[in-house]
Structure 1
């Protein structure tokens, strides 16, 4: 086993936020499930990562019950690791690198929520650590991004009405440009499925 699929933050915490109505792909779980099935078929390691902020009292506080995979997902309990992170990337506050090393993994495919935040940051750190990284762009999702000067407590309608707000599709496009040829290979679910079928 030299490859792993890292599923990052595809969790109910996001669906519990009002901003979920603006998510770029509300059916992201379907695409993640396709990747997971392909990885399992090819004998690749699947690692589930959840973001956790204990004691905050918000949707990322495990005490509220939202820090769990989206209900449409099917994480196995038989050897598929589940790690909880408290940083943007999946390495800094977890034993992810140790898990990958123990399993001989040198190539990663990353997917999840949010495209330009935790998924991109994980891809960058993984690249710096020497992994060969594939960023599965259409199995990521994000929200429109407020301007740096926008008030933090605005409603979704106010966010969307602000002409300074960066649309979600533009955030995805910029992430592709930032990663491609530097930190990761950009691929689609279809491409990863085809590659996994060849290895199976």
Structure 2
């Protein structure tokens, strides 16, 4: 069996109810992410946390040094779990993520986190391009309503669109239950 790691992307305070950029379904997604973190820890498999922080105080959320940019309490890292700081959508861009995975001999990735249509999708596509087989756990990811060409796109549609696109060519897309029972 290939060595896998759980990549926990941007489950940070600003995405929750009292934050600057709340997501639809973030509480349930974070609960599922926490279940997956626990399963990986119980199996002594690596967990890598990704934390987004913009470089400007004028950013709409995740401003440098803010409480909103901190990891949420539901998914805090342990001392032996790296936290990769990123400043771009793609968690591999200008970070040490790929090096950490290579150092640990990781061959496959399981991805959870926020926002499905941005950082989760960006990391999944980049990981696949780097040659990692990827599994995205759809109900451990959250997004929000968007707007395009004057039309509101509900979060459920955004989520379905992103996950179906990833499943087409970049990742296996599973539920938490499907992953844990496999």
Judge same fold: TM > 0.5, yes or no. Answer: yes
Q: State the Cα deviation string for residues 22-55 of structure 1 (Å, max 9, x = none).
A: 5133332211110001111222110000111123
Alignment-derived partner of residue 177 in structure 2? 190
In 1, Cα distance between equivalents of 2:96 and 2:82: 10
**1:165 partner SS:** strand
Contact 2:91 2:123 in 1 (8 A): yes
What corresponds to 1:177 in structure 2?
Answer: 164
C-alpha contact (below 8 Å) 2:53/2:86 kept by paired residues: yes
Alignment partner for residue 70 of structure 1, among 69, 72, 79? 72
Counterpart for residue 137 of structure 2: 136
Deviation at 1:93, TM superposition (A): 2.1
Q: Is the 8 A contact 2:4 2:108 kept in 1?
A: yes
1:190–1:48 distance in 2 versus 1, CA, 3 Å? same
Change (3 A) 1:25 1:55: closer
Structure label with greater radius of gyration: 1
- The alignment status of 1:11 with 2:32, answered yes or no, reads no
Q: Does 1:23 align with 2:24?
A: yes
Instruction: Quote how far apart the aligned CAs of 1:62 are.
Output: 2.2
What is the distance in 2 between the residues matched to 1:148 and 1:5?
36
1:102 aligned residue: 103
Residue 36 (1) aligns with residue 23 (2): no
* Correspondence for 1:60: 62
- Report the CA distance between 1:148 and its aligned residue: 4.7
State the Cα distance separating 1:181 from its structure 2 match.
3.7
Q: Aligned match of 2:153 in 160, 166, 169?
A: 166
Give the match for residue 51 of structure 1. 52
CA distance in 2, matches of 1:118, 1:178: 14
**Equivalents in 2 of 1:104, 1:27: separation in Å?**
31
- Structure 1 unaligned runs (5+)? 150-163, 196-200
Length, aligned pairs only? 178
1-structure distance, mates of 2:168, 2:66:
40
Partner of 2:71, secondary structure, is: coil
Q: Deviations over 1:118-156 (max 9, x none)?
A: 00110000000000000100100000012255xxxxxxx
| 2:85 paired residue number | 84
TM-score (norm 2): 0.91
Higher strand fraction (1 or 2): 2
The CA distance in 2 between the partners of 1:111 and 1:70, in whole Å, is 14
